[in-house]
A and B are shown apart, each in its own frame.
Chain A
Amino acid sequence: MSSHYEAPIRKPLIIGDKNYHDVTVDVARPVEGRANKQWWIAFSIALAAFLWGVGCVAYTVGTGIGTWGSNKTIGWAWDITNFVWWVGIGHAGTLISAVLLLFRQKWRMAINRSAEAMTIFSVIQAAMFPVFHMGRPWLAYWVMPIPNQFGSLWVNFNSPLLWDVFAISTYLSVSLVFWWTGLLPDFAMLRDRAITPFTKRVYSIVSFGWSGRAKDWQRFEEVSLVLAGLATPLVLSVHTIVSFDFATSVIPGWHTTILPPYFVAGAIFSGFAMVNTLLIIMRKVSNLEAYITIQHIELMNIIIMITGSIVGIAYITELFVAWYSGVEYEQYAFLNRATGPYWWSYALMMTCNVISPQVMWFKKIRTSIYVSFVISIVVNIGMWFERFVIIVTSLHRDYLPSSWTMFQPTFVDAGFFIGTIGFFFVLFLLYSRSFPVIAQAEVKSIMKTSSETYKKKWASEGHGHDNHSHSENNHH
């Protein structure tokens, strides 16, 4: 290992005396073991919330959108708020697995699998809102340009809502493929460890006969890199397209060119917060503290801090431009946000999104698991209110004062949202007990560069930094 150069400043990503087998055992343990009582309690709660949501959706579809709190002025409220919120949450998964791969961030390896799972599960939640906020969801297939008997009547490709269809469906399918490709070696590991015929069979099917030959690995790496290269523009464009739903409108408060990057930044912000929430729990309950270390949490906190600051700049930019524009409607839209009847939601959004990430400047705070957990939840509340504020406060007071009104959600609005949270956790809890939650193949690939064991070894052998930098100097 003397030829290897790794800066000694880098802290280990795998702590404890782990070898390859330990990684396998640690990753396989939650899958091979039995669910404990807490898991069943959490699962039951999530399932109940999900079923309640199913009931609310069935009631909406059966009775009509009038069961919601939306009205003639505010046609979009909780439905699209929740849609954008869930899509935003999903973005962190792709960010972690694709963008961090492009930037060769080794710390992503312990968290990418769960982040991608989170992406897929939250995009599924998001995708339900565009369908069920339709007045006639049974005709949802009309959004597809399918040749038909109406003289081949097609869709108009000018609507961002149609772009949403393409964006979300592409995003879900690419994320699914990316995730599943990465899962193949790990499923193969579970297959090879399986002791019951049933699990053997299941993991044989899902691992697609992965045998881990050199050629397979070479192609696996290339596919991962290509998919990461594809997923990165995709992830940026998906939330951009979602933001176009608002940015391309003529509503004061919506019609802004800053929306695309600002929505993407917000998506990363809320997505990383959700990853933090989930992983802080997961590392504890699945005993993965050796892989999802405090350093991982700190790095995610730093990203939350950076994107939170970007979002904060966007808020200030919006306010500045509103003032600078001289357009009284735009100025009123922001005055209304700050001092109107929904001032509390604006205040909540500002507090949660602008102030809370700034505490991450303090090392003591960003390396504290408890504070990180609280902040990650605060951020997601704030980001929910950001979407709510953008949508509802812009709509409820715009051009004609005669159309000004208020929005009051009903229990069905809330029930649908609670149902998606329940469904998300149903999927995530099932995932955490049947899927390898850490990409063990990837984690093993950094064993010799970033694990505590090897770091210690080099330090004791005097290899690494000093020796290597000498030879580096000799070369030059």
Chain B
Amino acid sequence: MKAIYKIALLAVASASLTACFDKSAPNYQYMPNMYEAVPYETYSEHAVFPNGKEGQMPAKGSIPRGFVPYEIPNTTEGYEASKANPSPLDSVGFDAPRAEQLFTIYCAICHGDKGDGKGNLPKREKFLGVPSYKDRVITEGSVFHVETYGLNAMGSHANQLTQEERWQVARHVMNLKSQL
């Protein structure tokens, strides 16, 4: 009887100690001394910023070190002009496995692994009208232009891919086109 009483007491104690934990809310903390950041962390929200966001836009026209602005404008003429824009990559600079990986991550979902316009989303008819590379007149420069600005239904990928990566992908696209 004494043992049962003790076990019951232990059960009540442990239940009362854990009962206040709410799965839908962050748990209680013991002395959160250095849990919250004193500096402004990336993506954090602070009232001190004009729109409350830590990520503020850089000044217009400023150029960070190691970055070359893309000068061709996002217009029809610009697109035509971009076709003559050469790739900065030489044969050594092109990294075929990495280019393929980047294409698989960012492009193949619509364009398909082979570039034939049969990616998962058009196949499942989430949307239609993704052309095959075979049917389009494209150069490495125009692919880079479209990756940078987007075209029609396609959005800009300049956020996801760096300039160098976009040139890698552009060459991969041209390789796929040659195999179609």
* B-chain residues with CB within 8 Å of residue A4 when the two chains form the complex: none
Chain B CB within 8 A of A9 CB? no
Map CB proximity to A onto B31-51 as digits: 1 under 8 Å, 0 otherwise: 101000000000000000000
Q: Which residue of A lies closest to B30 (CB)?
A: A138
A11 at the interface (CB under 8 A from B): no
Docked complex Cα distance between A136 and B32 (Å): 12
- In angstroms, how far is the closest chain A Cβ from the Cβ of B42? 26
- Quote the shortest CB–CB distance from B10 to chain A (angstroms): 19
A-B contacts, CB under 8 A, total:
4
Taken residue by residue from 126 to 166, chain A's Cβ proximity to chain B (1 for < 8 Å, 0 otherwise) reads as: 00000000001011000000000000000000000000000
Looking at the assembled complex, report how far the CB atom of B33 sits from the nearest CB atom of chain A, in whole angstroms.
7
Question: Quick one: which of B105-124 are within 8 Å of A by CB?
Answer: none
Within 67-111 of B, Cβ neighbours of A (below 8 Å) are at none
Per-residue interface assignment for chain B, residues 131 to 153, with 1 indicating a CB less than 8 Å from any chain A CB and 0 otherwise: 00000000000000000000000
User: What are the residues of chain B within 8 A of A136 when measuring CB–CB?
Assistant: 31, 33
Chain A residue contacts of B33, Cβ below 8 A? 136
Rounded to whole Å, the gap between the CB of A34 and the closest CB of chain B is: 41
A139 surroundings in chain B (CB, below 8 A): 31
**Within 8 Å CB of A138, what residues of B?**
31
Q: Mark B12-35, 1 if CB is under 8 A from A, else 0.
A: 000000000000000000010100
Interface residues of A in 91-146 (CB under 8 A from B): 136, 138-139
0/1 interface trace, chain A 271-288, chain B, CB 8 Å (1 if under): 000000000000000000
Least CB distance from A218 to B in Å reads: 32
Instruction: Determine the distance from Cα of A407 to Cα of B20 in the docked complex, in whole angstroms.
Output: 48
CA distance A138 to B31 in the complex (A): 8
Closest Cβ–Cβ distance, residue B109 to chain A (whole Å): 39
A285 CA to B33 CA in the complex, in Å?
51
Cβ distance A146 to chain B, nearest Cβ, rounded Å: 14
Q: Identify the closest chain B residue to A136 (Cβ).
A: B33
Closest to A138 in B: B31
What's the nearest-Cβ distance from chain B to residue A104, in Å? 45
- When distances are taken between beta carbons in the complex, the residues of chain A under 8 Å from B31 are 136, 138-139
Closest to A139 in B: B31
**Complexed CA–CA distance, A352 and B118 (Å):** 96
Docked CA distance A216–B136 (Å): 105
What's the nearest-Cβ distance from chain B to residue A263, in Å? 35
Alpha-carbon distance A138/B29, docked complex (angstroms): 13
Q: How far is the CA of A136 from the CA of B30 in the complex (A)?
A: 12
Considering the chains assembled together, what is the distance between the CA atoms of A135 and B51 in angstroms? 38
Separation of A139 and B31 alpha carbons in the complex (Å): 9
A207-235 CB contacts (< 8 Å) to partner B: none
In the complex formed, the residue of A with least CB distance to B33 is: A136
Minimum C-beta distance from B41 to chain A (A): 23
* B30 CB → nearest A CB, Å: 8
Report the Cα distance A381→B101, complex, angstroms.
78
Interface residues of A in 323-340 (CB under 8 A from B): none
Cα-based distance from A136 to B33 in the complex (angstroms): 9
Give B32 Cβ to nearest chain A Cβ, in Å: 11
Closest to B31 in A: A138
CB distance from B27 to the nearest CB of A (A): 12
A138 vs B30: C-alpha distance in the bound complex, in angstroms? 9
Give chain B nearest CB distance to A131 CB in angstroms: 15
For the complex, what is the distance from the CA of A139 to the CA of B32, rounded to whole Å?
A: 11
Closest approach, in angstroms, between the C-beta of B71 and any C-beta of chain A? 53
Please report the C-alpha to C-alpha distance between residue A138 and residue B32 in the assembled complex, in whole angstroms: 11
Q: Tell me the minimal C-beta distance from A61 to chain B in angstroms.
A: 12
CA distance A332 to B15 in the complex (A): 63
A138, B33: Cα distance in complex, Å: 11
Q: How far is the CA of A394 from the CA of B31 in the complex (A)?
A: 35
- The CA of A136 and the CA of B34, in the complex, are separated in Å by 12
- How far is A139 from B34 in the complex, measured between Cα atoms in Å? 13
CA of A81 to CA of B33, assembled, Å:
29
**Shortest Cβ distance from A135 into chain B, in angstroms?**
10
CA distance A139 to B33 in the complex (A): 11
A136, B31: Cα distance in complex, Å: 10
Task: Looking at the assembled complex, report how far the CB atom of B87 sits from the nearest CB atom of chain A, in whole angstroms.
Answer: 49
Contact with B along A298-310 (1 / 0, CB 8 A): 0000000000000
| Complex alpha-carbon distance, A107 and B33, angstroms | 55
Nearest CB in chain B: distance from A64 CB, A: 12
B126 → A minimal CB distance (Å)? 44
| Complex CA distance for A474 and B31, rounded to whole angstroms | 79
Interface readout for A369-409 with B: 1 if CB under 8 Å, 0 if not? 00000000000000000000000000000000000000000
B80 to chain A, nearest CB (A): 61
Q: With the chains together, A338 CA to B33 CA distance in Å?
A: 44
Give 4 CB contacts A-B under 8 Å: A136-B31, A136-B33, A138-B31, A139-B31
Which chain A residues have a beta carbon within 8 Å of chain B's beta carbons?
136, 138-139
In the A-B complex, the 4 residue pairs with the closest CB atoms: A138-B31, A136-B33, A139-B31, A136-B31
